[in-house]
Chains A and B, each alone.
Chain A
Amino acid sequence: MGYFAYQYKRTWRSSITTSFLYPILYLAAMGVGLGSLVDKHSHTVDGVSYLIFLAPGLLAGTAMQIGGNEAMYPIMGAIKWMKTYFAMLATPLRVVDVLRGQLGWIAVRLAIVSSIYLGVMAVFGAVKSWYGILALPAAIMTGMAFAAPIAAYSARQERDVGFTTLYRFGLIPLFLFSGTFFPVSQLPVWLRPIAYATPLYHGVFLCRGLVLGNLSLWPAVGSAVYLVALVGIGYWLAGISFKKRLIV
């Protein structure tokens, strides 16, 4: 079923480079610049230098952004403006094939960006353990835990106003407060449970634990199951949305 590979070609050219350049710039500015300030005063964050602390957080955070982004405009656009899905459905492909192709492409894109970024982290010396390799699937799952449910939402949208809201009140706060830039333990007590409940927290937790090699088994399993469950539920809901919009 090589048609997925071809479908991927569709958005191939669009900004793969910028999507890993951003976290690297962030890492340079925040990790090295801000990090030197942090390290000078308190020496470590959670026992490691700020750069080392920040790098895996950005890995998960970037994965979330890519997963979310790719499941918003591209999906609504394919249904409303481009009609590309309808072209696919005139062929032997079924709605589930279209959905799998779309989500599969997002996963491939996540894999590419995350592995490049992880490589850069290794060069920075931010990967402390061989378990760090598993941070790649963890990052992909983090991205997909957002992509699949958001795909279910986007497929139903008639206009793009919802995306701005989703960004402003969803992705951006998560990016800032889910343990990416500072440990959740720094948050006010009443906010912490909310942070612990967010998928990004679990993504960050996994990625950080894996690259630092200090993850304990059961919490890790719990977080992984949580992310996988989100992907599964999202996929199921997206299947319903896609059928509703594409079969008329």
Chain B
Amino acid sequence: MIEPADATPAAKLDDAGTSTDRARPPTLTEMSHNAGSVRSMTRPSAPGASTRALPAVDGTEPLIWARGLVKRFGDFVAVDQVDFDIEKGESFGFLGPNGAGKTSTMKMISCMSPLSGGTLRVLGMDPAADGPKIRSRIGLVPQEDSLDLELTVMDNLMVYGRYFDLPKKVIRERANRLLEFAQLTERANDRVDPLSGGMKRRLTIARSLISEPDLLILDEPTTGLDPQARHLLWDRLYRLKQQGVTLVITTHYMDEAEQLCDRLVVMDKGTFAAHGTPRQLIDQYSTKEVVELRFGADEHENIAPKLDGLAERIEVLPDRILLYATDGDETLSEVHRRGFTPVSALVRRSTLEDVFLRLTGRTLVD
């Protein structure tokens, strides 16, 4: 009768790993506004918003409205006084290196984590007072999958739908469609545990859509997905956006940010280092073109100083040197003229990756 407390094996969280595939080169949407100054994240239609206690209640209130948002863990400040507005129907990105505070921000927006300071309004409501009501209209893809590994794929969707108090019939009908989209129809009656990391990720994404949310919050949605699944998701997100769903996305993939985000912020150490449209950010923080030079191992540190004056800015990475210039070909010719013979050389257009590197001093995927 005395049985040992059943030793449930430590359910190992699926370690999706970071896929290194990067669909390149990204095609930038050409919307060359001049960046101008983008000090304030708030829309021009809301001048002086940061000093106002609450947003307008005349129907123009943004879907998410944050002022002086703070998240502390003990003495550590994970999110430090950030302001932002996210409008209805917009797709808004948070980029930033590991530990920047993206997930902490997502958790506050999704009303799972209380604020340590500041004001936040989501869907016109106060998360502290109306958490359940707000959450009923939000779909969340958390950074770490939180599927029920003991249940089948289908049951995961059914249970989750029941949490939203949806009728079973509705859930089943939506679940079938979502499984189709997630390409998991054949696995519908399999247990979740043995599924691959990418399949679990797809199921998590499908699950977030079961309640047909007005606001979809995706914390690194495509980490661990293969290129085909990523493109499928982008397409799906694009369609949701067209239907009026507001998207909030964090990502470590620049091409994803460029594809998906109308506006984005680059976060570093809990604050916003920059914000704007992808195009604005590139115009403001990078040059038009970039020359990438590779020399032999360990030579980069020595060679870089000798290239001084060739470009507006030079960035030395462990595996290559980046020269930021207006005319890449011209710069490359000059490099050759000075007698350097790189193992390989490439002239490309500036991307968000370069913006990121400039602002945070780090490459995106460490």
Contact = CB atoms under 8 A, between A and B. Distances in A.
Interface of A: 1-3, 6-7, 9-11, 13-15, 22-23, 25-26, 58, 61-62, 65, 68-69, 72-74, 77, 81-84, 86-94, 163-164, 167, 171-172, 175, 247-248
A142 to B, nearest CB: 15
Contact of B151 (A10, A69, A93): A10
B2 A172 contact: yes
B142 A92 contact: no
A3, A23, A68: most-surrounded residue (chain B CB, <10 A):
A3
A22 B1 CA distance: 5
A87 B156 CA distance: 11
Interface stretch (B26-34, B157-165, B341-349, B356-364): B157-165
8 contacts: A2-B165, A25-B1, A77-B10, A83-B145, A86-B112, A90-B112, A92-B165, A167-B4
B197 to A, nearest CB: 15
Nearest to B147: A87
B1 A6 contact: no
B135 A73 contact: no
B11 A22 contact: no
A92 B8 CA distance: 29
B114 A9 contact: no
B113 A248 contact: yes
Contacts of A91: 135-136, 160, 163-164, 211
Contacts of B3: 22, 65, 69
A82 B112 CA distance: 17
B334 interface: no
A72 B7 CA distance: 10
A92 B164 contact: yes
Interface of B: 1-8, 10-13, 73, 110, 112-114, 131-133, 135-136, 138, 140, 142, 144-151, 155, 158-160, 162-165, 211
B114 A81 contact: no
B155 A3 contact: no
Pairs of residues from A and B, 9 with the lowest C-beta to C-beta distance, nearest first: A87-B146, A91-B163, A83-B146, A3-B162, A92-B132, A90-B140, A92-B136, A81-B11, A6-B159
A11 B132 contact: no
Contacts of B114: 247
Contacts, number: 109
A73 B165 contact: no
Contact of B5 (A11, A13, A163): A163
- Judged by DSSP, the binding face of A is helix
B120 to A, nearest CB: 15
Contact of B135 (A68, A90, A248): A90
Contacts of A61: 1
Given A6-B162, A10-B151, A163-B5, A86 B142 contact: yes
A179 B158 CA distance: 45
A83 B200 CA distance: 14
A9 B10 CA distance: 20
A81 B144 CA distance: 11
B254 to A, nearest CB: 27
A72 B13 CA distance: 20
B203 to A, nearest CB: 12
B150 A10 contact: yes
Contacts of B148: 10, 82, 84, 87
Contacts of A26: 1
Given A1-B165, A9-B151, A65-B2, 13 more contacts: A58-B1, A65-B3, A69-B5, A81-B12, A82-B146, A83-B145, A86-B112, A86-B146, A89-B112, A91-B163, A94-B132, A167-B4, A247-B112
A65 B1 contact: yes
B112 A88 contact: no
A43 to B, nearest CB: 26
Given A3-B165, A22-B3, A81 B112 contact: no
Nearest to A94: B132
